[in-house]
Homo-oligomer: A and B are copies of this chain.
């Protein structure tokens, strides 16, 4: 059914290797024959079989990326960065969604490893030991989590979250909520620790609630806790939770930022879309994606890549959801 190199060769009256050459290194073949071959290729609709090519080259010319939830606006920017950079290096990108814990994340990574030259795993949820084992065998780069002995691109949320606390303090807020993310989340650990440290440092009382899943619904639920707490400022684990929070506050007639100031983390598309626009900690997703691909590319170019951890810094972006403390 499918047209092969041999079919084209037969049609033109040359050998398969000549056709192969005509396609991969056209200058190594007689212009005359090349013409004929090209014509036949066109006419017969020949398409090289990627699988066969991979089998003896060992290269797949694709790289994979696994994220916990494509519906979470944090990930698409990373994916897009990866795609852009990978395209420039001649790789396709295969995306896979582990659907948070529901699916077998490790299984997905293995699956992708078979089909690509290397895999980028973003915010992995799995057991660190298992991830380390896998990383030792395969070409893997982690984003947003530090796995021992592997290559990690880390987004240091701490800096931005610290700035968020300082920002609220400067506006006069003295009682601030931190809405925690998933208990097992590495990002949450970093963010919470930074919030605590900064609160301590500048002299702000920090009230913590959670854990919450990174979903709007969780923010809705959190809103009532926040109001009851008497806090005038909130730092949410991420923009989704912050958005849900703001939605519910609006419902209850609580003004943002009039009564309560709200800060998210991720600086995702949501932050510009919500109302009021959301002050948020900007996370360098784009850089993270590009950096990961660059490292992977070195690896694939045959260079030895040492285990390493690259830190990318975050920064607070002030928008409409934060203002003076009302009292």
Shortest distance in angstroms between A268's beta carbon and chain B's nearest beta carbon? 9
Question: Could you pull out 11 A-B pairs where Cβ atoms are within 8 angstroms?
Answer: A51-B55, A51-B115, A71-B73, A71-B76, A76-B97, A79-B97, A94-B96, A216-B269, A216-B273, A217-B275, A220-B275
- Which residue from chain B places its CB closest to the CB of A244 in the assembled complex? B275
Which residue, A52, A71, A215, has most C-beta atoms of chain B within 10 A?
A: A71
On chain B, the residues within 8 Å of A70 by CB distance are 70, 76, 79-80, 95
Is A114 at the interface (CB under 8 A from chain B)?
Answer: yes
Shortest distance in angstroms between A44's beta carbon and chain B's nearest beta carbon? 12
Shortest distance in angstroms between A229's beta carbon and chain B's nearest beta carbon? 21
Is A170 at the interface (CB under 8 A from chain B)?
Answer: no
Contact in complex: A270, B52 (CB < 8 Å): no
Contact in complex: B71, A60 (CB < 8 Å): no
- Which residue from chain B places its CB closest to the CB of A218 in the assembled complex? B273
Shortest distance in angstroms between A278's beta carbon and chain B's nearest beta carbon? 10
Considering the chains assembled together, what is the distance between the CA atoms of A210 and B270 in angstroms? Answer: 21
- Interface size class for chain A? 35 or more
Interface members, chain A 51-99 (any B CB < 8 Å):
51-52, 54-55, 60, 62, 69-71, 73, 76-77, 79-80, 83, 87, 92-97, 99
Residues of A within 8 A of B (CB): 45, 47, 49-52, 54-55, 60, 62, 69-71, 73, 76-77, 79-80, 83, 87, 92-97, 99, 103, 108, 110-112, 114-115, 137, 215-217, 220, 240, 243-244, 247-248, 250-251, 269-270, 272-275, 277
On chain B, the residues within 8 Å of A103 by CB distance are 83, 87
Known: A244-B275, A247-B273. A83 touches B71 (CB 8 A): no
On chain B, the residues within 8 Å of A71 by CB distance are 73, 76-77, 80, 269
The 6 closest A-B CB pairs, nearest first, are A251-B275, A71-B76, A50-B114, A95-B95, A215-B273, A94-B94
Contact in complex: A244, B273 (CB < 8 Å): yes
Query: Which of B52, B92, B96, B277 has a CB less than 8 Å from the CB of A93?
Result: B96
Since A51-B54, A220-B275 are in contact, a sample of 16 more A-B pairs with Cβ atoms closer than 8 Å, ordered by chain A residue number, is A51-B114, A55-B55, A71-B73, A71-B76, A76-B97, A93-B96, A94-B94, A216-B270, A216-B274, A216-B275, A217-B269, A217-B275, A247-B270, A248-B273, A251-B274, A251-B275
